[in-house]
Structure formats: structure tokens, C-alpha cells
């Protein structure tokens, strides 16, 4: 038994003693691992989160105009209110929903493969992939978001969960990177074959998910009452800060403002390396999770400060190397912070609010990402044009934005971890007495 604070069925924090999950069978871990790793690959191919693979196929192969692509991707935001509603789905539906999700993505990948293979570029038939993008986004929001993290939290021990959350992120990043390179260099026949392979793999994986445990009905509470607690609001702000401080559109900023004559391929490789290597180096942190969470937040903030202090433009004399080092450290720190913060939530959340909390966290994360990209684009434009002179040369609107976002992340982390330690100490003292 382990003492701890967990969110109860209303989303509030309750002091209680909780049983640490036993290790899940290896068959369960393998299948959830595969789903977590495969979903970004298939999703990016169908246009989820504006996937680069989808954009390459739509523009180069199907000859669809940017206006139609942008409209389809933008309509994916319609999934947000539906996802908030889906947070009420009971936990015992998670196994069924994750199978529906993986099957639906498999079918859509097969349909996309047929369109790429058979449709005349620029025709009406070629544009079938556009509504499928919206359907894929809805499938992720309603089926995947309400089942993936809840199943991971319900079935796995802390060590298993950390291994899955860290390794799958790195593997999917590598797979998407390689897929983008391949899809951009091959013809429509190979692109169709890749989509078909992803579709068939998804269908087979969905069939194998019968081994997943089905949570019993009695762990649910259908009626959610009361607002979120202060600690839960801090966790939401934690995800907001990490999303906004994650150097959105940094390549665009470097190309226009910091290093106009530089090699963007090298900068992009440095960012990719940071996001891949850090999760691969993650190990079970045990009782040191709070320390890792605070350390990652401080490291990310320090990296942002270093980024702000770099000369503008970086020029020569070793400053480009400093830029690459700062970029790697910033992305690696944010990657570690996101893994640690997700594990923190998993350790706190009660099964009666597992779906609700995890689904709303996904809403917060995805919405923050979209807002961050929008705001970053506007601020980079302002920084590049020089329309806003707010002081020192280094402190343009985009860099000021990064400083404020990292400050929010650090403050929320320190307050949340301090509150958690204080409540744990009080609970331990109460138990001892």
C-alpha cells in the first residue's frame, strides 16, 4: 500500500490510501505499446494535427489546393466540444472504444490508399481524403482520447507506464520522420502501398486487443459534480505552460530572425534529436518524480532564458553552435517535463474520474498547441518586421512570449509539487497518529 492524494470522482483531490497497480501481463503492455506508437504514424498520414505526411500526399500526389486542405484541417477543431462531452464516457467502455478507434483508422487508411492509387489527381474523387481528415480527428478525440490514457492508468504499474509513455513517443517520432522522407521521394503506387500496410496493420492490431482487460462497471460514477479543484487547475495550467513554452515554430523564427543564412536542416535535426533522445534515456524515477518534474521545468526555463540571451542574429564566432545546444536542451527538457507531468497525473487520478481528467487534459493539450502555433506565427511576424520595439534587441515579441510561458510552467510546477508534498506530509502525520 502507498499513501497518496488522488482525484476523486468529482475531479477533486481526496486523501486516501491507494493500491499500487500490479504489473500488467506482457501481452497487454505490448498491445498498448503498439497502439501508442502506431497512432501518430497513421494519424499524421490521415491529417490529424495537420500531419506532414497527409500534406505531402494531398499537395504533390492528389493535387488538392491549399485552401481546401486548410479548411479540412481547420474543421478538425469541431472535435473539441465533442471531446468535452466524451469525457463522460464510462471507463468500462475503454477497451471497446480503443478497438473501434484502431479499426476506424485502419479502414480510413485503406480508403486513402485506394484514393491515392486509383483517383485522378485534382478530381472530385481525390478530395475524398478531405472529409476523412475530419473523421480521423473526431475518432482521435472521441475514441482514442477517452480510452488510451485511461487504459494505461488502469492496467499498468508505474514502471510499465513510464516505459510505455517515454519509448512510444521516441519511436513514433522516428517513424514519422522516416515516413515523411520516404513519402516525399516516392510515387503514388508506393504511397498507396504504405497507406494500405498501415491500414492492414491497424485492423490486425484491433483484432488482437481482445486480451485487454475490461474495467468493471462498478468503478464508474456517471454523474460528475462540482468544479475542478485548485490542484487540478494547476495541472491544466502546467500543460498550458509546457505547450506554449515548447518553442513552437522555432524553425520559422530562426530562418527569419535569428539565423537567416543558416542551415535549417541542421537546426531541425537538433530539435528532432532532443525530442527523441530524451525519452529514450528515461528510466523509472520511483519516488523521485517530483524532483524530476521540478528539475525538468527549471531546465526548460533556463534553456528559454539562454535562447533569449543569444545575439540576434547569431552570426558567427561559435554562436550557431550555442544555438544548436540550446535548442537540443530546450526540446529535451520539455519532453522530459511532459512525461513526468503525465506520470504525476496518473499517480494522482482516481478510477472514478480517470476518463474525465485524462480526456480534459487532452483537450487542454491539443487546444494549447493550436493556440500556441497561432500566437507564435503572429509574434514571429511582429518580431521579423520590427514593428514592435520593446527594449533590448534580444527581447522581441516572440522571445518575450517564450519567457512568459516558461514562467507559467515553472510557477505552476513549484506550487503544485509544494502542495502535493504538504498534503502528503499531513496525511502521513494523520495516519501515524
- For the chain, what is the mean pLDDT? 80
The residue behind cell 504511397 is 191
Lowest-confidence pick of 89-93, 125-129, 287-291: 89-93
* CATH class of the domain comprising 230-432: mainly alpha
All structural domains of the chain with their residue ranges: 21-215, 230-432
Q: Is the pLDDT assigned to residue 390 strictly greater than 80? A: no
Evaluate if residue 163 carries a pLDDT over 80: yes
**Residue-wise pLDDT tens digits, 314-346:** 766 778 888 889 988 988 998 899 899 888 888
More confident residue, 85 or 223: 85
Given this model, what pLDDT does residue 22 score? Answer: 65
Q: In this predicted structure, what is the pLDDT of residue 195? A: 94
Q: What is the pTM of this model?
A: 0.78
What is the reported pLDDT for 218? 56
| pLDDT at 420 exceeding the cut of 80 | no
Whether residue 172 is predicted with pLDDT greater than 70 in this model: the reply is: yes
Scan for cell 498550458, then name that residue.
240
Taking Cα atoms as reference points, which of 132, 166, 123 lies closest to residue 42? 132
* 257-286 burial: b if 16+ Cβ within 10 Å, else e: bbbeebeeeebeebbbebbbebbeebeebe
Once rounded to an integer, what is the mean pLDDT over residues 377-393? 69
3-class state of residue 314 by DSSP: coil
- Alpha carbons 83 and 365: distance in angstroms, whole number: 12
C-alpha cell at 213: 482487460
pLDDT at 430: 59
Higher pLDDT, 111 or 367: 111
Tell me the average pLDDT across 361-386.
Answer: 78
Q: Read off the C-alpha cell for 374.
A: 497561432
Q: Which triple of cell numbers denotes residue 77?
A: 477543431
Closest among 406, 412, 411 to 326, alpha carbons compared = 406
How confident is the model over 119-126, as a mean pLDDT?
A: 90
Q: What is the pLDDT of residue 222?
A: 40
In the block, cell 489527381 appears at: 121
- Given the DSSP bridges, would you call strands 2-7 and 13-18 parallel, antiparallel or unpaired? antiparallel
| HSE-up of residue 60 (Cα within 13 Å, Cβ side) | 14
d(CA 135, CA 144): 13
Amino acid at each position: 500500500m502507498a499513501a497518496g492524494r488522488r482525484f476523486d470522482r468529482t475531479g477533486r483531490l481526496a486523501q486516501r490510501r491507494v493500491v499500487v497497480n500490479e504489473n500488467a501481463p506482457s501481452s497487454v503492455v505490448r498491445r498498448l505499446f503498439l497502439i501508442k506508437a502506431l497512432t501518430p504514424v497513421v494519424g499524421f498520414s490521415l491529417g490529424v494535427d495537420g500531419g506532414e505526411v497527409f500534406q505531402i500526399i494531398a499537395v504533390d500526389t492528389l493535387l488538392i489546393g491549399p485552401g481546401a486542405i486548410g479548411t479540412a484541417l481547420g474543421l478538425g477543431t469541431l472535435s473539441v466540444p465533442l471531446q468535452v462531452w466524451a469525457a463522460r464516457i464510462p471507463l468500462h467502455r475503454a477497451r471497446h472504444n480503443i478497438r473501434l478507434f484502431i479499426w476506424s483508422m485502419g479502414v480510413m487508411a485503406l480508403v486513402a490508399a485506394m484514393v491515392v492509387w486509383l483517383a485522378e489527381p485534382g478530381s472530385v474523387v481525390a478530395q475524398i481524403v478531405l472529409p476523412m481528415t475530419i473523421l480521423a480527428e473526431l475518432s482521435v478525440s472521441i475514441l482514442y482520447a477517452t480510452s488510451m490514457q485511461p487504459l494505461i492508468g488502469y492496467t499498468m504499474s508505474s514502471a510499465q507506464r513510464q516505459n510505455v509513455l517515454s519509448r512510444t513517443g521516441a519511436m513514433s517520432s522516428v517513424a514519422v520522420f522516416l515516413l515523411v522522407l520516404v513519402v516525399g521521394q516516392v510515387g503514388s503506387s508506393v504511397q498507396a502501398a504504405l497507406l494500405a500496410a498501415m491500414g492492414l496493420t491497424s485492423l490486425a492490431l484491433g483484432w488482437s486487443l481482445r486480451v485487454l482487460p475490461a474495467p468493471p462497471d462498478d468503478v464508474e460514477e456517471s454523474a460528475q459534480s462540482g468544479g475542478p479543484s485548485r490542484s487540478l487547475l494547476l495541472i491544466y495550467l502546467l500543460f498550458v505552460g509546457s505547450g506554449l513554452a515548447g518553442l513552437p515554430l522555432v524553425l520559422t523564427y530562426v530562418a527569419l530572425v535569428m539565423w537567416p543564412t543558416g542551415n535549417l536542416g541542421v537546426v531541425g535535426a537538433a530539435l528532432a534529436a532532443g525530442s527523441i533522445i530524451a525519452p529514450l534515456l528515461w528510466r523509472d524515477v520511483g519516488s523521485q518524480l517530483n524532483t524530476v518534474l521540478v528539475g525538468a521545468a527549471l531546465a526548460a526555463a533556463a534553456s528559454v532564458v539562454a535562447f533569449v540571451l543569444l545575439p540576434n542574429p547569431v552570426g558567427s564566432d561559435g554562436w550557431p553552435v550555442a544555438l544548436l545546444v540550446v535548442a537540443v536542451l530546450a526540446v529535451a527538457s520539455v519532453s522530459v517535463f511532459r512525461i513526468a507531468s503525465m506520470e504525476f497525473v496518473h499517480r494522482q487520478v482516481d478510477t472514478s474520474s480517470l476518463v474525465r481528467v485524462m480526456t480534459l487534459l487532452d483537450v487542454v493539450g491539443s487546444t494549447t498547441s493550436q493556440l500556441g502555433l497561432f500566437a507564435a506565427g503572429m509574434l514571429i511576424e511582429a518580431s521579423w518586421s520590427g514593428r514592435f520595439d520593446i527594449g533590448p534587441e534580444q527581447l522581441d515579441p516572440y522571445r518575450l512570449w517564450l519567457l512568459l510561458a516558461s514562467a507559467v510552467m515553472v510557477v505552476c510546477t513549484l506550487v503544485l509539487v509544494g502542495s502535493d508534498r504538504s498534503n502528503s506530509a499531513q496525511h502521513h502525520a494523520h495516519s501515524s497518529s
